[in-house]
């Protein structure tokens, strides 16, 4: 506690004194009043802080906020799961007949082995009939494993190609796909990923390795066709058709 200093003789007096114990001069007690007021204000702030800390409503508000956050996370996770399960929009019906299926791989082998330039043009329907025949073939590896491949679907648009894959997971179907643009680099045809999706959930091109878990089965099933395509000179995608050029 502060002591009162005499303004005349500078003697330190007890705070309860009115006159100096040494010289009898009247002491200035205004500093004690200010100090007491500051102490009272500090004490009031402390009490206010403690009251806020032990306020039961404060705990309830925190619990409500935490519960709301959990509900929001569950809702977001459920929404993402639903998007992943739903099939893509405008998915055409499965091909049941392979009468329109051309012998694409055989024609690719003949084209790349020819001494003359060869141009092959296939419609989207022809390609999808061929893909369906490959998946349904007894010699195909599509039906092997825990998550068999049920369907591969190609969709062509100007300068890009989309691949849709349907796989069976127990009694459910899971869909995934990706879009590609092809580039000719040092005489080799290289695909450029433009992004993809799992179900209806879009996947950014930089994280398309997630969707590759679903697409990998399709690539292994079409391994012969991929090797033949890699020997082409150029590929051109157009709405609902593809042009394959060899020997140029």
pLDDT category at 57 given cuts 50, 70, 90 is low
pLDDT category at 95 given cuts 50, 70, 90 is confident
CA distances from 73 to 57, 79, 81, 166 (A): 24, 10, 12, 28
Q: What angle do CA 87, 127, 85 make, to 5 degrees?
A: 10
Residues linked to residue 153 through DSSP beta bridges, in sequence order: 164
pLDDT category at 241 given cuts 50, 70, 90 is very high
Q: Which of 57-71, 112-126, 183-197 has the highest average model confidence (pLDDT)?
A: 112-126
**DSSP character at residue 26:** B
Residue pair 167/177 in contact by the 8 Å Cβ criterion: no
**DSSP character at residue 9:** T
pLDDT for the residue 49 = 61
Residue 33: burial class (beta carbons within 10 Å; 0-12, 13-18, 19+): exposed
User: Cα separation of 217 and 143, whole Å?
Assistant: 10
pLDDT (mean) for 3-7: 79
Q: Which residues contact 174 (CB under 8 A, 6 or more apart)?
A: 84, 85, 147, 166, 167, 168, 198, 199, 214
pLDDT category at 39 given cuts 50, 70, 90 is very low
User: Cα separation of 181 and 96, whole Å?
Assistant: 29
Residue pair 169/147 in contact by the 8 Å Cβ criterion: yes
* Per-residue pLDDT tens digits for 180-224: 998 877 778 888 889 999 888 888 888 887 667 778 888 888 999
What mean pLDDT value characterizes the chain?
Answer: 82
pLDDT for the residue 3 = 74
Least confident range of 34-43, 46-55, 189-198: 34-43
* Per-residue pLDDT tens digits for 139-188: 788 888 888 888 999 999 999 999 999 988 887 888 999 999 988 777 78
pLDDT category at 42 given cuts 50, 70, 90 is low
pLDDT (mean) for 21-33: 77
Which is more confidently placed, 8 or 229? 229
- Reported as half-sphere exposure (CB side, CA atoms, 13 A), residue 165 has a value of 26
Q: Which of 24-33, 42-51, 214-223 has the highest average model confidence (pLDDT)?
A: 214-223
Q: Which residues contact 140 (CB under 8 A, 6 or more apart)?
A: 134, 221
pLDDT for the residue 179 = 92
């Amino acid at each position: 506690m502060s002591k009162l200093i005499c303004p005349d003789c500078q003697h330190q007096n007890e705070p309860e004194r009115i006159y100096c114990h040494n010289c009898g001069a009247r002491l200035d007690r205004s500093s004690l009043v200010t100090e007491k007021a500051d102490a009272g204000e500090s004490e009031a702030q402390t009490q206010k802080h403690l009251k806020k800390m032990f306020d039961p409503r404060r705990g309830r508000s925190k619990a409500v906020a935490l519960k709301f956050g959990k509900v929001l996370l569950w809702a977001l996770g459920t929404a993402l799961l639903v998007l992943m399960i739903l099939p893509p929009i405008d998915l055409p019906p499965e091909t049941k007949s392979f009468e329109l299926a051309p012998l694409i791989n055989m024609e690719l082998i003949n084209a790349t082995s020819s001494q003359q330039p060869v141009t092959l043009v296939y419609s989207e329907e022809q390609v999808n009939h061929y893909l369906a025949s490959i998946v349904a073939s007894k010699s195909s590896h599509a039906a092997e494993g825990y998550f068999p491949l049920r369907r591969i679907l190609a969709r062509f648009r100007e300068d890009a190609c989309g691949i849709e894959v349907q796989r069976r997971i127990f009694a459910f179907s899971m869909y995934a796909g990706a879009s590609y643009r092809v580039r000719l680099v040092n005489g080799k045809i290289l695909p450029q990923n433009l992004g993809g999706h799992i179900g209806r959930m879009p996947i950014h091109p930089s994280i398309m390795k997630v969707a590759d878990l679903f697409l990998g089965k399709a690539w292994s099933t079409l391994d012969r066709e991929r090797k033949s395509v890699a020997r082409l000179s150029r590929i051109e995608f157009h709405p609902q058709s593809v042009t394959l050029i060899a020997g140029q």
